[in-house]
């Protein structure tokens, strides 16, 4: 089937209109009329991912984070982003990104399910359609109260992580959890406003963490990748269910840094 037909199926569930204003989603390189038999899924369009997609004989690469984010005045092999775009086009691979539209309509519900949040509500509302609020993240109740230390172990288990960064009193009790996959600095204020005891997110800096704790919010920084790699398997199931004629391949789960 053609790339544009796959896009229609994806955008019926994750319309581009749901993306935040700053974002860049959709077909970012290649031909909409490209005949696609094999799709390759990844979180980021890195050099290694593109090479794997080429080696795998993929016709289409779908990532969560858009390779082209800031405006490009030229597309050449003289910078690393341009080289990737050139390689994709030379290899006739259609490249598609689904970022904050998926965050709003997929990632939030998925992370809520994985972490077992009950009585949930949208953490940061970004759209309201037919009376239904949608947005970034979720906040709700844990199955039972636990210490922050126990919550860290719980989150590590649920997200299958080797390490976490934590701000807060490890002996303090938490029962209401907010989750905002990805970069979560902007999630601190809504988490506090909606009564969360702990926020699970990524990319929290020193001052952001300290300031959150001062306002009564513990923060578990599970990493940007650690909270969003769940996109890969979720989209694999989506495509296999909606478009069983496609051969869907996924990049290996490899965390981008190690803690030693």
Is 237 assigned a ligand-binding role in the annotation? no
- Which strands sit side by side in the sheet containing 218-221, from one edge to the other? 118-129, 132-147, 173-183, 198-202, 218-221, 165-167
Pick the closest to residue 89 from 28, 3, 5 (CA basis): 28
Phi/psi zone of residue 30: left (φ > 0), alpha (ψ -120 to 50 degrees), beta?
A: left
**Residue 35, annotated ligand binder?**
no
End-to-end CA distance of the chain: 46
167-187: burial string, b at 16+ Cβ within 10 Å, e else? bbeeeeebebbbbbbbebbeb
Check the CA dihedral 112-115-120-121 and report its sign.
Answer: negative
221 annotated ligand-binding residue: no
224 is in an annotated binding site: yes
Q: Is 103 annotated as a binding residue?
A: yes
Binding residues for a divalent metal cation, as ranges, are 64-65, 103, 224, 228
Annotated binding residues, written as ranges, equal 64-65, 103, 224, 228
């Amino acid at each position: 089937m053609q790339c544009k037909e796959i896009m229609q199926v994806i955008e019926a569930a994750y319309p581009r209109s749901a993306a935040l204003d700053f974002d860049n989603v959709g077909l970012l390189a290649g031909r909409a009329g490209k005949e696609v038999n094999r799709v390759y899924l990844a979180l980021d369009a890195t050099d290694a991912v593109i090479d794997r997609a080429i080696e795998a004989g993929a016709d289409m690469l779908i990532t969560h984070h858009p390779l082209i984010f800031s405006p490009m005045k030229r597309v050449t092999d003289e910078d690393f982003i341009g080289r990737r775009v050139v390689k994709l086009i030379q290899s006739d691979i259609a490249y598609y990104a689904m970022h904050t539209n998926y965050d709003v309509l997929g990632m939030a519900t998925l992370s809520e399910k994985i972490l077992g949040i009950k009585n949930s509500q949208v953490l940061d509302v970004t759209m309201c359609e037919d009376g239904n609020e949608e947005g970034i993240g979720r906040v709700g109740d844990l199955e039972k109260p636990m210490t922050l230390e126990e919550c860290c172990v719980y989150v590590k288990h649920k997200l299958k992580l080797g390490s976490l960064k934590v701000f807060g009193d490890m002996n303090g009790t938490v029962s209401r959890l907010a989750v905002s996959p990805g970069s979560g600095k902007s999630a601190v204020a809504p988490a506090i406003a909606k009564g969360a005891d702990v926020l699970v997110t990524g990319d929290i800096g020193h001052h952001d963490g300290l300031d959150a704790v001062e306002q009564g919010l513990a923060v578990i920084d599970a990493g940007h990748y650690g909270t969003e790699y769940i996109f890969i398997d979720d989209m694999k199931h989506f495509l296999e269910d909606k478009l069983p004629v496609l051969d869907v391949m996924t990049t290996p789960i490899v965390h981008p840094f190690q803690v030693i």
